Chain A
Amino acid sequence: MLKTLRTNDTALMILFTLVVLAGPLILAPVGAGYPDLMQRFVIYGIFAIGFNILFGLTGYLSFGHAAFLGVGSYSALWMLKLLSINIVPAIIFAVVVSGLFALLIGFVSLRRSGIYFSILTLAFAQMSYNLAYSVLTPITNGETGLQLDLEDPRILDSAGSAGQVASPSFFGLEMGDTAVVPFLGMDLQFNVGFYVSALILIGMFYLSLRIFRSPFGMILRAVKSNQTRLNYTGFNSRPYTLTAFVISGMYAGLAGALLVCMDPLAGAERMQWTASGEVVLMTIMGGAGTLIGPVLGAGIIKYFENIFSRINDEVVLGWFSALPDWLAEAFTTVISPFLGSGWHISLGLIFMLVVIFLPGGLVEGANRLMNLFTRLSGPRKNTASEEDAYADKGSLPTKAAPSSTVVNTKES
């Protein structure tokens, strides 16, 4: 089975790279082809991939991952303020700091498992959030959020052009720079920040793929399926889980750093428990333990947050402008509670529907579709072995199509 994975991996990697790099072209038709959202897709994709290395592989459900994102953001922004407007030192510093922070929290939290571990990470994250909001205001600028300033010292490059705050750049390439290309009546926006993040995402995806396939990844999976048994064999699993925790914290720190490089403001809200919850939702919705799932989940949640929330009554009315007035208004009345300020309702409903009908997340949905497709087009071959592989997945209907990349979601 592993052998087939390897060849698939190359294909997956190439496909993933192509899709990510073609982002502006793919996203423009669905109204998401503007730099801010595209950057968010990619950055939260990195965040979710990192979270998945911990949760998807070891089954340890951290409910405080946003703390590392926040720590990454703050440390990166301080680097931009104090050292240089170049994003490279900021990113490196952020990854190191969040890694150390993750080491500290992971060392303490991993002494417990199950729900106790989740609550410990939650408690640490909530403490960080509350402190960032209040006591640590000199470092974090409290509720307003830390920003770049005209008076920043910036040792390496002297303060920017008179009267304007410099914007973060990669050796002179400013993250905000966008080339607009008209294409088939759409404006495609090719943004420097997006491509910088996208290249990092591709690198991080590759890294996660390697981790998934490595012996280290196998050990982490062993932790997930039965840690007690693993420990009884005389194997000390804690260093491995701690490593996974730190790696995943560093991913989060990297994502946090990229966020402030794209938009130099670090607000404390990004450390709140709801933000931690968001990455859990992204991962599960896309498919925990799968490679591509978390990125998919991140994309969908961010799409909802940014596109659905901006559809107001007028826009909805516009959709039905071809219909008679009374019908258009009737449709608008029915639909608009789910859009605009009511976008949370749609999001909540989608969470529920996905979990109820697609326990393995969207990736499982895609696989089911694919399976249906192959079943229609030709006889199936290795049914037996596939069902064996999923025999322990009690809740999953045995008829469901498993995929080579799906790893069982956590059982407990």
Chain B
Amino acid sequence: MDAILLQVLNGLDKGSAYALIALGLTLIFGTLGVVNFAHGALFMIGSFCTVTFNNLLSFERVTLSETELSPWGTPLEIHVPYVELWFGELGATMIDYSVFWSILFAIPVMLLIGIVMERGLIKHFYKRPHADQILVTFGLAIVLQEVIKTVYGANPIPQPAPDAFVGSVDIGAMIGMADNAVIYPIWRLVYFLFAGVVIGGIFAFLRYTTFGMVVRAGMADRETVGLLGIDIDKRFTAMFGLAAVVTGLAGVMYTPILSPNYHMGMDFLVLCFVVVVVGGMGSLTGAVAAGFLLGILQSFASMPEVKDFLFGFSIDQVIIYLVAVIILLTRPRGLMGRKGVMET
């Protein structure tokens, strides 16, 4: 029982990441009809916003020590962050909480990147074949990823969670189970809540604002909306920016869970395409549901009990694809896909 609860929790945080990225992807996929292979790169850039912001905060004054020497004989360098020099304790706290500050930093950055990407590149590809979209966005993804690699190096850069959120809580004890049965890292709970807030925000935005209404109308029938004299292009640009922000924030908050590295975007990309398609093309709810579903299934598949049950055959590495195949064969348009979207 406790093992199952733990895997559900595990699946939830993984699912949150899938759901957030897939949500961003399907906003682009569903509204603009563009297959965006650079979407993983947006996630990666989001997490590197945290790194950048952290680096900016902890920009250091370097002085050479007069007494101590490094092992190879040059004077030892002493590093002190300027923020600490200027603000003392407060500065140290600011650095500690840099992940949260990074959100404020990331929103304008991601918005800008999204808009520039859409206006500068994607816009010219709305009417081009999907294959061309794939190629151009794939090229863009490679370039973005390699630029990050050139700047930040190839090794993962750890970003610790704020001290207050380090460690874990004993969820089992809270709900009356045995002590230490279900221990769960605090930051993953934070991530789950954060994902919930963002997803809720997006849905509310699309549901209850005029802007959202127009966009939904545009998703359903772009031409008619255009005929009504509404400048749908501008809204779509904004949607692209929004999708970039959602994905970027998913990356920002994910950094304490997974140390940012330059190829993390590609690692998530394929999985998220599968998530979107399993959810059904053009369905936001479907994307979110599929994200959580596949996250949880993936967690369960890596339990030793499952392996024993399947005669020692471990399926944790193929479960997502297996589920994708089964769902696509039984439900032609995924869980909640609309007819006619991306079927030809």
Task: Let me know if chains A and B touch directly in the complex, using CB atoms closer than 8 Å.
Answer: yes
Give chain A's interface residues, CB within 8 Å of chain B.
Answer: 55, 61, 108, 111-116, 119-120, 122-124, 126-127, 130-131, 133-135, 227-228, 273-274, 277, 280-281, 284-285, 288, 337, 342, 344-345, 347-352, 354-356, 359, 394-395, 409-412
Residues of B within 8 A of A273 (CB): 270
Which of A115, A337, A345 meets B343, CB within 8 Å?
A115
Taking a contact as CB atoms closer than 8 A, the residue among A288, A342, A359, A410 that contacts B150 in the complex is A342
**Distance of A131 Cα from B121 Cα, bound (Å):** 38
From the candidates B143, B146, B270, B342, name the one contacting A114 in the complex (CB within 8 A).
B342
Given the interface pairs A123-B274, A123-B321, A409-B132, the reply to whether A135 lies near B344 with Cβ below 8 Å is no
A120–B138 CB distance below 8 A: no
Chain A binding surface, main DSSP class: helix
> Is B129's CB within 8 Å of the partner chain A?
yes
15 CB contacts below 8 A, A to B, read A114-B343, A114-B344, A115-B130, A115-B277, A119-B273, A119-B328, A122-B274, A127-B325, A273-B270, A280-B135, A344-B146, A345-B147, A349-B139, A356-B124, A409-B131
Q: Does B107 contact A (CB under 8 A)?
A: no
The yes or no answer to B332 lying at the interface (CB within 8 A) is: yes
A-B pairs with the 7 shortest C-beta distances?
Answer: A351-B139, A348-B142, A123-B321, A348-B143, A352-B139, A130-B317, A114-B343
Question: 1/0 contact trace for B140-180 toward A, CB 8 Å?
Answer: 11110111001000000000000000000000000000000
Q: Which residue of A lies closest to B280 (CB)?
A: A116
B95 proximal to A (CB < 8 A): no
- Closest Cβ–Cβ distance, residue B296 to chain A (whole Å): 18
Q: In the assembled complex, which residues on chain A have CB atoms less than 8 Å from the CB atom of B329?
A: 108, 111-112, 120
Q: How far is the CA of A352 from the CA of B138 in the complex (A)?
A: 8
In the complex, A120→B146 CA distance in Å? 29
A15 to B316, CA, bound (A): 51
Tell me which residues across on chain A come within 8 A of B342, comparing CB atoms.
114-116, 412
A285, B135: Cβ atoms under 8 Å?
yes
Residue of B nearest to A134 (CB): B317
Assess the B130–A116 pair: CB atoms within 8 A: no
A395 to B126: give the CA distance in the assembly, Å.
10
**Contact partner, B344, options A113, A355, A395, Cβ 8 Å:** A113
Q: Are A126 and B318 in contact (CB under 8 A)?
A: yes
B-chain residues with CB within 8 Å of residue A114 when the two chains form the complex: 342-344
A350-B139, A352-B139 known; A412+B332 contact, CB < 8 A: no
Q: Is the pair B130, A412 in contact by a Cβ cutoff of 8 Å?
A: yes
- Residues of chain B lying within 8 A (CB to CB) of residue A133: 317
Q: B281–A351 contact, CB under 8 A?
A: no
> For the complex, what is the distance from the CA of A350 to the CA of B135, rounded to whole Å?
10
Q: Is the CB of B270 within 8 A of A120?
A: no
CA distance A356 to B324 in the complex (A): 33
B41 to A: closest C-beta gap in Å:
10
The main secondary structure of chain B at its interface with chain A is helix
What A residues does B334 contact at CB under 8 A? 116
**Most chain A beta-carbon contacts within 10 A, residue among B317, B329, B344:** B344
Q: Are B322 and A345 in contact (CB under 8 A)?
A: no
**Are A288 and B131 touching (Cβ within 8 A)?**
yes
**B285 proximal to A (CB < 8 A):** no
Q: Do residues B128 and A277 form an inter-chain contact, with CB atoms below 8 A?
A: no
- Residue in B128, B134, B142, B325 whose beta carbon sits within 8 Å of that of A344 in the complex: B142
Known: A133-B317, A345-B142. A352 touches B128 (CB 8 A): no
Contact of A280 among B134, B140, B142, B147 (CB under 8 A): B134
B336 to chain A, nearest CB (A): 14
Hey, which chain B residues are within 8 Å of A284, CB to CB? 131-132, 134-135
B245 to chain A, nearest CB (A): 24
**Residue ID in chain A nearest B35 by CB atoms:** A115
C-alpha spacing A112/B329, complex, angstroms: 8
Of B127, B139, B270, which contacts A348 at CB under 8 A? B139
Q: Are A345 and B146 in contact (CB under 8 A)?
A: yes
Task: Please pick, from B135, B146, B314, B322, the residue contacting A355 in the complex, using a CB distance under 8 A.
Answer: B135
A116–B131 touching, CB < 8 Å:
no
Smallest Cβ-Cβ distance to B147: which chain A residue: A345
Which residues from chain A contact B318 at a C-beta distance below 8 Å? 126-127, 130-131
Of A115, A273, A284, chain B has the most CB atoms within 10 Å of the CB of A115
Contact yes or no, A356 B131, CB < 8 A: no
Tell me the minimal C-beta distance from A22 to chain B in angstroms: 30
- List B contacts of A108 (CB < 8 A): 325, 329
Q: Does B188 contact A (CB under 8 A)?
A: no
Return the CB mask of B6-43 against A: 1 if under 8 Å, else 0: 00000000000000000000000000000100000000
B136 at interface by CB-CB < 8 Å: yes
Is B72 located at the chain interface by the 8 A CB criterion? Answer: no
| Inter-subunit contact B328/A410 (CB<8 Å) | no
A352:B140 contact, CB within 8 angstroms = yes
A284 and B146 alpha carbons, distance in the complex (Å): 22
Inter-chain contact B333/A116, CB cutoff 8 Å: yes
B309 within 8 A of partner (CB): no
Which A residues are in CB contact (< 8 Å) with B130? Answer: 61, 115, 410, 412
Known: A130-B317, A354-B135. 10 other contacts (CB 8 A): A112-B329, A113-B343, A114-B342, A115-B342, A123-B324, A126-B270, A284-B132, A355-B135, A356-B121, A412-B344
Are A355 and B317 in contact (CB-based, < 8 A)?
Answer: no
Q: Which chain B residues border A409 with CB–CB below 8 Å?
A: 129, 131-132
Nearest CB on B from A231, distance (A) = 12
Q: Which chain A residues border B325 with CB–CB below 8 Å? A: 108, 120, 123-124, 127
Which of B314, B317, B324 contacts A119 (CB under 8 A)?
A: B324
Partner pick for B146 among A274, A280, A348, A354, CB 8 A cutoff: A348
Docked pose: A281 CA to B135 CA in angstroms: 6
